[in-house]
Structure formats: structure tokens, C-alpha cells
């Protein structure tokens, strides 16, 4: 069983999660379609999820989450 954190939920009810396999620490994206689409979970490698470069809202959510892992020095906000 993987641990997961919600990244994004679309207006149509689809959800994307950042998952991590506890046994080996491997991270991946979990896509859960809405009910009418079948609701079958799909695990997607991080590189494949970001590789199309379309800037979908779920991709932007993952990039924002990754960005929170980096500390910004106080002087970076000054012109």
C-alpha cells in the first residue's frame, strides 16, 4: 500500500495524488478518474507525468509542491 497526498482535483471529479511506496521510497503520481470514466487508479512515473510539458493544472500542482521543498533565501525577494 502506498502513502499519498492529493495534488489536484478537477471540476469533473478526477483526482491526482503524489504517492510514495513505503518499502522503497519510490515516488509516483496516482491518477483516479471520475466515476463515469471507470474510476480505475493508474500509477504514473514522475518523469512521464511531467514530460508532455502541456502545463496542465495537475502538473502545475506537482511543480508547486516540489517548489515548497526549496528554501528561498531572504535576499531573493529584493530587487
Cell numbers placing 41: 487508479
Count of structural domains, the chain = 1
The three-state secondary structure class of 76 is helix
- What domain range is 67 assigned to? 3-77
Tens place of pLDDT per residue across the chain (79 aa): 458 999 999 999 999 999 998 899 899 999 999 877 677 899 999 999 999 878 899 999 999 999 898 887 777 666 6
- In this predicted structure, what is the pLDDT of residue 79? 61
Q: Whose CA is closest to 30, among 77, 62, 70?
A: 62
Position 49 scores a pLDDT of: 95
Would you say 36 and 12 are in contact if contact means Cβ atoms under 8 Å apart?
no
C-alpha cell at 15: 483526482
Instruction: Work out the angle at residue 51's Cα, subtended by the Cα atoms of residues 49 and 9, and round it to the nearest 5 degrees.
Output: 35
pLDDT of residue 40: 86
Amino acid at each position: 500500500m502506498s502513502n499519498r497526498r492529493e495534488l489536484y482535483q478537477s471540476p469533473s471529479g478526477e483526482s491526482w495524488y503524489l504517492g510514495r511506496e513505503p518499502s522503497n521510497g519510490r515516488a509516483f503520481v496516482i491518477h483516479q478518474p471520475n466515476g463515469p470514466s471507470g474510476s480505475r487508479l493508474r500509477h504514473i512515473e514522475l518523469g512521464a507525468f511531467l514530460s508532455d510539458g502541456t502545463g496542465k493544472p495537475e502538473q502545475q500542482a506537482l511543480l508547486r509542491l516540489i517548489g515548497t521543498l526549496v528554501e528561498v533565501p531572504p535576499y531573493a525577494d529584493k530587487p
